[in-house]
Amino acid sequence: MKRVIFTISILVFKALNIFAQKEATTKDGKKVILYEDGTWKYAEMANEEKDISLDCADLISTETDKVTGVTSTASKGNNLIISSDKKSGYIISIILLKNNSLAFWFQLFGNIGCIEKGDNMNVLFRDGTRILLGNCTDFNCKGQFILYLGGIWGMEEELEMFRTKEVETIRIHNSDSFIEEDFTSSQSKRFMKSVDCLLNYSKNDK
C-alpha cells in the first residue's frame, strides 16, 4: 500500500510541475513559457529543444548531382538557422571536403553589407574558450562568409573545438558592422554533432 501511495505522489508531483509552467505573450506578440522558479524561455525555443534529434541520419546527408554525377556530403537542409529576431542572422551549411576537412558556409541575412576576404569571426564557446577566425572566400556582397578547416587547410585545433565544444555566440564582422547571434542549447548541440558526424563519415568512407 505504501508503494502505491509513493508512486501516486511522484505522479502528482510531476503533474504539478508541468502545470506550474504558464504561457504568456509579450507586448510585441511573442509567446513565452514562464517557469515556477522565475525563469522564462521563448515558446519557440522550448519546443525546438523538445524536438532535437542528434542522430547523424537526421543531421547530414549524401546527395549525387544527377547531371555531373558528383557526390557531396553536408549538413542536412537548413537545420542550422541562427536568428533571434528573424530579421538578421545566418544560415550555416557544413560541407565535407577531402582529407577530413570541412567548409563552414555562413549565409548572412540582414543589414550586413559586403564581406571582404579576411573579415573576422569571433567564436565564444560555452566553456569560455574564444577563437578568432578569418573569412576564406573572396570579396562579395551576397552575405557569404566561408571557413575552411582541417586537412590541407590546417586549423586542426580549431576544427576539433567545433567538434567537441558547444558554441555559445558567434559574431561575424565586416568593415562597417557585425551580426552577433547566441545559440540555444539545442542549436549548439546540433552544430557540434553535425561536425562530429561529418568527420566520422569521412573516416568511415576511406
Does residue 47 register a pLDDT over 60?
no
- Mean residue pLDDT of the chain comes to 83
| Highest mean predicted confidence (pLDDT) among 81-90, 109-118, 152-161 | 152-161
pTM: 0.74
Query: Which domains, from first to last, does the chain contain?
Result: 2-47 (no CATH), 54-204 (2.60.40)
- Among 19-23, 37-41, 90-94, name the one with the lowest average pLDDT: 19-23
| Highest mean predicted confidence (pLDDT) among 25-29, 70-74, 147-151 | 147-151
Does residue 104 register a pLDDT over 70?
yes
For residue range 141-178, list pLDDT tens digits in order.
Answer: 999 999 999 999 999 999 999 999 999 999 999 988 99
**Closest C-alpha to 103, from 37, 157, 148, 156:** 148
Does residue 9 register a pLDDT over 60?
no
Residue 47 sits at φ, ψ, to 5 deg, of -65, -40
State the pLDDT at residue 83.
92
Q: What three-state secondary structure class fits 160?
A: helix
Alpha-carbon distances of 91 from 80, 102, 108, rounded to whole Å: 6, 16, 7
Does residue 86 register a pLDDT over 90?
no
**% residues pLDDT > 70 (the chain):** 74
